Amino acid sequence: MLDMKWIRQNEEQVQKVAAQKGILISITELLQWDEKRRSLLQEVEALRSLRNKLSNHIGTLVRQGAPQQEVEQAKQKVKETNEKLAVAETELTRAECKTAELLALVPNIVSPDTPEGRSDADNVEQRRIGEAPIFGFELRDHMALGELHDMVDVQRGVKTAGSRNYYLKGAGVLLHRAVQQLALDMLLQKGFTLLDVPLMVRTEAMNHTGFFPLGEDQTYRIANEDKWLVGTSEVPMVAYYADEIIDADRPIKLAAASTCFRSEVGSAGRDVHGLYRVHQFAKVEQVILCKADPVLSEALLQQITANAEELLQCLELPYRVMAVCTGDMSQKTYKQYDIETWMPSRGAYGETHSSSNLHDFQARRSNIRYRDKDGSLKFCHTLNNTAVASPRILIPLLENHQQEDGSIRIPAALQPYMNGMQQILLPKG
């Protein structure tokens, strides 16, 4: 959420960003409703004050033994004031609701170095690490490898739970858990506090963290309850501090490994093969809360992005870092990097990680503040990053490390988490 005073002073800039992010909102209409809200609030407060004065006056008249006619006239004025007040309060409630409804659609501004563009095709490559492997044999994709090693069963996943569902088995489960534990251990060494978080949250948590109202169609709702399944542990980690005044002398670094759920509405026909776009997955997420210092939060954005890159380097996977353009950014994001990992079966890089700096947009909605040196309260900056997401990461992990005989090499960093296994061999027989 942006400060309304700031929006009034920067109407054109906010409207431009809304258009860039593809959000349909009239900032002029928002400001008109806010102006009406403020005017009605003054009217309501004036009428309440008048009513109180008139009521006190009636008491004085009665105590003084004033004529009944004079008392009745005063009571009539109170009645008329109450009628006007009821109308004004109804109009005020409507104006407040409309202002809040429109304000919830207002996007965060974007950093000066965010590239302009309409889609991920306009994202700009920042750096490329590692070389795509050249195979001297016929390549197998991750599904063929998964079936060969009896690690993945999509057919039974669909039978049990519908499209975009799967079972992991055997070594597939070990890999799935190994990459998560490797990520957690790395973040622990970097001073992150681990949380085990709720996977179901209230609507207000989704609103406060900026995932609603625009992301409702991507989220599963629990029937007959005010609860939703989270698509990222970012939501419960940020909500942990909602409506609190925190100690931000040092950045608060949180991490969680959790199951996540996404409905993937609007993705029909996209990435239907294999494990790339599924309804249920696991993520290790980084979240940081810090002082409202743009220099500090920019430095932290580079750090959490570097953490994800370090993991990919440990997994010995080629990747590239992309600066995300305006049209590919979410409503809440100020600046974003995506990391794309080389996926041989695609002959292209596929998104596996994302890093975002939200400035104080999320903290304003969540009412997370800290005391500055002068004692004043300020909204903090928040950041998030996907350290690893599985099973998507299994796609490049299996494909890049496959051997000619169908076996799969396990990177050295993962071997301790795989019971010392150095490679996944073909099943005997």
Residues labelled as active-site residues: 262, 277, 351, 354, 392
> What is 241-255 written as a DSSP string?
TTT-EE--SS-EEEE
Order of strands, edge to edge, in the sheet holding 252-261? Answer: 124-129, 319-323, 335-343, 348-357, 381-390, 280-290, 252-261, 193-195
Cis upstream peptide for 411 (omega within 30°): no
- Give the largest Cα separation in the chain, rounded: 109
Which residues lie closer than 8 Å to 363 by C-beta, 6 or more apart? 289, 369, 379, 380, 381, 382
Distance separating alpha carbons of residues 321 and 339, to the nearest angstrom: 5
Task: Find tokens 């939200």 and name the residue.
Answer: 358
What's the residue count for the chain?
429
Q: Give the DSSP letter string of 282-295.
A: EEEEEEEEE-S-HH
Distances (CA, A) of 341 to 57, 174, 308, 327, 394: 76, 21, 11, 21, 11
Chain-centre distance of CA 3, in angstroms? Answer: 20
Angstrom distance (rounded) from CA 415 to CA 422: 6
User: What are the distances in angstroms from CA 414 to CA 91, 167, 397, 417, 418?
Assistant: 62, 22, 11, 5, 6
Q: 169 - beta bridge partners?
A: none
Q: State the amino acid at position 15 in one-letter form.
A: Q
